[in-house]
Structure 1
Amino acid sequence: MLKEDKDPEVSSVLTREDTAGVPDGNPEPAEGGGPSGTSARGGNRLPVSRPFILTDCLLKYLLIFSNLIFSVVGLVTLALGLWGLAEKESLAQEKIGHIGTDPMLLFITLGLMLSLLCLSGCVGAVRENECLLQAFSAGLLVLVSAQVLAAIVLYTLQGQIEGYVRSVMLTAISRYQDDLDFRFIVDEIQTGLQCCGADTYQDWEINIYFNCSAPGVQACGVPASCCIDPLENGTVWNSQCGLDTRLLNEFSAQSVVFLGGCLGGAARWIERHAGVIGTVEVVFLGVQVLSTCIAMRQLDNIHYEKCLVSVLQVDTFCTCNRH
Structure 2
Amino acid sequence: MALSPAQLCHGETTRLLPQAPRLLEPPYSNGGGDDDDDDDGGGDGGDALAKQDPKEWCSNPLKMGTFSQCIRYLSFLWNLVFLLMGMLVLATGVWGLVAKGWLRGDSLVPLGSDPMLLLLLLGTGTSTLSMAGCMGALRPSPCLLRFFLGAMGALVGVEVLGGLVLVLVSRQWLRDGLRDTLLLCLLHYQEEPDLRFMVDEVQRGLSCCGLGSYRDWEVNQYFNCSSPGVQACGVPASCCLDPLQNGTITNSQCGFGVLRLGDVAASTVVHLGGCMAPMGGWLRVQGGAIATAVAVLVLLEATGMLMALKVLGDITPTRVWD
TM-score by length of 2: 0.74
Aligned counterpart, 1:122: 134
Aligned counterpart, 1:227: 240
Could you say if the C-alpha distance between residues 280 and 229 of structure 1 is closer, same or farther in structure 2, counting changes exceeding 3 Å?
Answer: same
The answer (yes or no) to whether the contact 1:90–1:96 under 8 Å persists in 2 is: no
| C-alpha deviation, 1:95, in angstroms | 4.6
Could you say if the C-alpha distance between residues 97 and 179 of structure 1 is closer, same or farther in structure 2, counting changes exceeding 3 Å?
Answer: closer
State the distance in 1 between where 2:225 and 2:109 align: 31
Letter of the structure 1 residue corresponding to residue 124 of structure 2: L
| C-alpha deviation, 1:125, in angstroms | 1.1
Aligned counterpart, 1:21: none
**Structure whose CA Rg is larger:** 2
Letter of the structure 2 residue corresponding to residue 61 of structure 1: Y
State the distance in 2 between where 1:95 and 1:177 align: 12
- 2:279 pairs, out of 246, 258, 266, with 266
Aligned counterpart, 1:238: 251
| C-alpha deviation, 1:274, in angstroms | 1.6
Q: Deviations over 1:198-234 (max 9, x none)?
A: 1211101222322234444323321011123322233
State the distance in 1 between where 2:313 and 2:220 align: 60
Could you say if the C-alpha distance between residues 243 and 86 of structure 1 is closer, same or farther in structure 2, counting changes exceeding 3 Å?
Answer: same
The answer (yes or no) to whether the contact 1:221–1:244 under 8 Å persists in 2 is: yes
RMSD: 2.8
1:58 is the counterpart of 2:70: yes
The answer (yes or no) to whether the contact 2:114–2:192 under 8 Å persists in 1 is: no
- 2:303 pairs, out of 290, 298, 301, with 290
Percent identity, aligned pairs only?
Answer: 40
Aligned counterpart, 1:7: none
1:189 is the counterpart of 2:202: yes
Q: 3-state DSSP class of the match of 1:190?
A: helix
Letter of the structure 2 residue corresponding to residue 63 of structure 1: S
| C-alpha deviation, 1:184, in angstroms | 2.8
1:137 is the counterpart of 2:152: no
State the distance in 2 between where 1:169 and 1:266 align: 10
| C-alpha deviation, 1:100, in angstroms | 3.6
State the distance in 1 between where 2:290 and 2:111 align: 31
- 1:1-323 to structure 2, matched below 5 A, reads 48-50=61-63, 52-54=65-67, 56-93=68-105, 95=107, 98-155=110-167, 156-303=169-316, 306-307=317-318, 311=320, 316-317=321-322
Letter of the structure 2 residue corresponding to residue 203 of structure 1: D
| C-alpha deviation, 1:165, in angstroms | 2.7
The answer (yes or no) to whether the contact 1:228–1:258 under 8 Å persists in 2 is: yes
State the distance in 1 between where 2:181 and 2:286 align: 23
The answer (yes or no) to whether the contact 1:68–1:118 under 8 Å persists in 2 is: yes
The answer (yes or no) to whether the contact 1:220–1:246 under 8 Å persists in 2 is: yes
Q: 3-state DSSP class of the match of 2:294?
A: helix
State the distance in 2 between where 1:86 and 1:279 align: 35
Which sections of structure 1, spanning at least 5 residues, go unmatched?
A: 1-30, 33-39, 42-46, 318-323
Q: Deviations over 1:150-195 (max 9, x none)?
A: 1223231532232233223223213322333432332233233332
Q: Between Structure 1 and Structure 2, how many residues are aligned?
A: 268
State the distance in 2 between where 1:257 and 1:103 align: 28
Letter of the structure 2 residue corresponding to residue 102 of structure 1: D
| C-alpha deviation, 1:92, in angstroms | 2.6
TM-score by length of 1: 0.74
The answer (yes or no) to whether the contact 2:109–2:191 under 8 Å persists in 1 is: no
